[in-house]
Structure 1
Amino acid sequence: MKKEYKYASIFFAIIAVGVMSISYFYDEVDLKRNTTNDITTLDKTFLRTSPELKGISGYINTSSEELDQDIEGKVVLYDFWTYSCINCIRTLPHLTAWDEKYSEEGLVIVGIHTPEFEFEKEYDNVVFATEKFGIKYPVIQDNDKETWNEFQNRYWPRKYIADHEGYIRFDHIGEGAYAETEKVIQLLLEERSVALGNTLEKKELVNLDEYKHATFRTPELYFGFNFAEGRNQLGNQEGFSKNQIVTYQLPEKMKQHYFYMEGMWKNNNDGMKLISESGKIVLNFNAKQVNIVASESATLFIEYDGKEIPEEVRGKDVSPEGTVKISEPRLYNLIDSQLEGPHEIIIQVQSPGFEIFTFTFG
C-alpha cells in the first residue's frame, strides 16, 4: 500500500509539472501572438494594444501629465529594465542613441524601471543611474510590478514597440537584435508619417559595437535565499538559512560554477550581509566578464587565479592595487577579459555590513 501511495504521489507530481510547463508555454505563445512576424501588416485584428501604465511610484525626466501627452499618437518603445542588471546596461547605449536620433520624428522611449532588489526601489538611486547612463527619455518606477504584470512580462531587459495607434507590433527579450529593432522603429515612424501626410528622410542605422558573450559561461548566481530557489549554487555544506546568521567555512574541494563563503553572513531575502569583521567569497567560473551587485561602504581585495588581477583583465571598478571601493548600491565590474576561460576569483572583505546580491557574467 505504501508503494502505491508513493507511485501515486510521483504520478501526480509529474502531472503538476506538466500542467505548469504547458501553461507557461501557452502564456508565451499567447504573448507572441500579440505581435506579428509580418511587421508591415495592415490587419491589426489580433494585435493587442499597449496596456495602461499602472502603479507608478515615481517619474524621472517627465511627469504623469507630460507622459500621457507625449505618447499620444507616437511610436512608443517600452523598455523594461533595472539599473543593476548588466544585460539591461549593455542595451542602454542603443536606446539613448535611438532617442537622440528619432525623438523629433515621433519616437518616444519609456523606460519602465522594475526593480529586482530592494535598493533599486529608491527614487534617488534610479535618478543617479539615469544620469550616469545619459538617459534623457522618460523613466517611470514600477516598484510593485503592476505595469510589468499588465504587459505579462517576465524578463529584464525586454522591449515592446507600439505603433502610433497603440498596437504592439514588436517585442524582443534580452540583448541584441539592435538592427532588427531599429528597422522596426523606422518602419513604424514611416507609417505614422504617411498617416499624417508627411514624408521622412531615410537614415542609416546606428552603428555601435555589440557585446560578444562567452560561448560557455557560468550562469547568474544569487546570494538571496528567495532568489536562489530552484537555482541554488551556494557550495558550502551549511547552505542557506532563512533570515539567520550563518558561520561559513570553506571546504577543501570546490566545484566550478558554485560560490563559497567564509565568515559570518546574514542570509537575507535578496542577498547576504557580512556580520563578522572579515569574510571571503570564492568562485571558480568560466566567462570573459565578472560583475557583482553590492552595497554598503566597503573595500574589497580581489585575487585572480591566486594572484593580483593582471591589468589586461582588470574590470573598470578595480584599482591598480586590486581593490574595489563599494560606495553606492549598484553593479561593479571586477573582470573584463577579451578571452573566455576557467578561472578562480577570491573576494576578501574587511568591512562588516557589506552586502552582496549576485554575480553576473559575460
Structure 2
Amino acid sequence: MNVLERAHMPSLDGATQWFNSEPLHSRELRGHPVLVHFWTLTCINWLRTQPYLRAWSQAYRDDGLIIIGVHTPEFSFEHGIDHVERALAARGITYPVAVDNDYKIWQAFGNQYWPALYLIDADGKVRDHQFGEGHYPESERVIQQLLGIERRLVPAEGRGVEAEADWAHLRTPETYLGFIRTENFEAPGGFVLNTPRAYEMPEHLNPNHWALAGTWTIRREHVLLDQADGGIACRFQARDAHLVLAREASEPIKFRVTLNGKAPGRSHGTDVDADGEGLLDESRLYQLVRTHGRVQAQTLQVTFDEPGAQAYAFTFG
C-alpha cells in the first residue's frame, strides 16, 4: 500500500545505519513537521534537488522542520557505506540520513521513485508529496503551512552537476547500459552477455544510441572493460552529459573524452578538463560535458587507459 493511502507516517525502523543523527523513530517525531526525502547517490535528478534541500534545512531548522534523507540504493555498488559517506560530504548534507540498504523504509512508504519527497505534519499525517524534480515553490509553501509561518521563499541555485537541466533543449533520455534495462545499443556483428567480447564502433551512431569499442563484458547492471584502451560512445542532444562509473580495478583509471572526435574545450564538464582528461577514482556520477554555445546533436566518446572501468548509465541535462 502506498504511504499516501495511510493515515500516518510509516516506520523508519530497518535502516542499516544513520548519518548525522542517532536512529530516529516515527513516534519520536510527533510534534514536528517532517520532510522525508528518498535518494540514491548517482541519480542526476536527486543531485539537482540538493540546493533546495540544503536551503530548506538551513532556513526552517530553527522553526521546527526536521528533514530526513533516506538513501535507498539503485545500483549494487551504492550499498557501500563509504560511497554514501563521500556523497554526503561532497553535497554538504548535514541533516539526518538513514541508510536503507535492505529497502525496509522504501517498502514501508510504498515508494517507487528517486527522488521522492514526503511532507508530514506534526500529528504524523502525510500531507503532500512530490516525485521527481520540480514544484519547489509549491513544496516550500506546504512546509510553511505545516510550520504555521509565512515568509518569502528561500533562494536556491544549483551549480555544477546540481544545476537545473536545460529542459528546453533536452532530447535524449537516461540510458542504462546493463542488459536488464538497456536500449538502443548498436553492436555491428552482434553481442553476448556475461562474456568478454571485442566490439567495434559503428561508422555512424543513430540519435540516442550508444556503442562500445574494444573488449567489454555486458553484465546485468553495467558494462565492464576487460582490456585497456576501450571506449564507449553515445549520440545525444542535451546541454549536459553524465556517466555513472565505478571501477573493478584497485587503482584509479585515466580516461579521455571527445566530442565529435575532438577535445571538448570550453564544453568540458566538471569532471574533465578542456583537453578531455579525467580520472575515475570514485564510484559516482561524472559530468563529462556541459555544452558551451548552441545545444545540438553530438557524439560523445569516453576512452579508458586501463581495464576495470564499469559504466552503468548515461544521464543528461
Q: TM-score, normalised by structure 2?
A: 0.90
Which residue is equivalent to 2:310?
Answer: 355
When residues 49 and 337 of structure 1 are mapped into structure 2, their CA distance, relative to the original with a 3 A threshold, is same
Q: What amino acid is aligned across from residue 215 of structure 2 in structure 1?
A: M
1:68 is displaced (CA, Å) by 5.3
When residues 62 and 69 of structure 1 are mapped into structure 2, their CA distance, relative to the original with a 3 A threshold, is farther
When residues 146 and 254 of structure 1 are mapped into structure 2, their CA distance, relative to the original with a 3 A threshold, is same
Which residue is equivalent to 1:170?
Answer: 128
More RCO (CA 8 Å, sep 6+): 2
Q: 2 CA distance for matches of 1:227 and 1:62? A: 36
When residues 275 and 162 of structure 1 are mapped into structure 2, their CA distance, relative to the original with a 3 A threshold, is same
**8 A Cα contact 1:67 1:138, kept in partner:** no
Q: 2 CA distance for matches of 1:68 and 1:50? A: 7
1:148 is displaced (CA, Å) by 1.2
Which residue is equivalent to 1:57?
Answer: 16
Secondary structure at the aligned position of 2:221 is classed as coil
When residues 347 and 62 of structure 1 are mapped into structure 2, their CA distance, relative to the original with a 3 A threshold, is same
Q: 2 CA distance for matches of 1:169 and 1:153? A: 15
**8 A Cα contact 1:225 1:240, kept in partner:** no
Spell out the pairing of 1:10-21 with structure 2 (5 A cutoff).
none
CA RMSD of aligned residues (A): 2.0
Which residue is equivalent to 2:152?
Answer: 204
Unaligned runs of 5+ in 1: 1-26, 35-45, 191-199
User: Is 1:218 paired with 2:172?
Assistant: yes
Q: 2 CA distance for matches of 1:309 and 1:50? A: 48
Q: How many residues align?
A: 306
Among 63, 68, 93, the alignment partner of 1:105 is 63
Spell out the pairing of 1:122-133 with structure 2 (5 A cutoff).
122-133=80-91
Summarize deviations over 1:281-317 as a string: whole Å, max 9, x none. 1211111100011122211111112211121x21111
Q: TM-score, normalised by structure 1?
A: 0.80
Q: What amino acid is aligned across from residue 273 of structure 2 in structure 1?
A: S
User: Is 1:247 paired with 2:198?
Assistant: yes
User: Is 1:317 paired with 2:251?
Assistant: no
Larger radius of gyration: 1
User: Is 1:267 paired with 2:218?
Assistant: yes
1:337 is displaced (CA, Å) by 2.3
User: Is 1:303 paired with 2:258?
Assistant: yes
Q: Which has the higher helix share?
A: 1
Secondary structure at the aligned position of 1:169 is classed as strand
**8 A Cα contact 1:291 1:331, kept in partner:** yes
When residues 240 and 80 of structure 1 are mapped into structure 2, their CA distance, relative to the original with a 3 A threshold, is farther
Which residue is equivalent to 2:289?
Answer: 335
Which residue is equivalent to 1:39?
Answer: none
When residues 182 and 359 of structure 1 are mapped into structure 2, their CA distance, relative to the original with a 3 A threshold, is same
**8 A Cα contact 2:55 2:155, kept in partner:** no
Unaligned runs of 5+ in 2: 159-163
**8 A Cα contact 2:9 2:120, kept in partner:** yes
User: Is 1:159 paired with 2:117?
Assistant: yes
Q: What amino acid is aligned across from residue 335 of structure 1 in structure 2?
A: V
Q: 1 CA distance for matches of 2:202 and 2:268? A: 27
Q: 2 CA distance for matches of 1:239 and 1:62? A: 51
**8 A Cα contact 1:47 1:169, kept in partner:** no
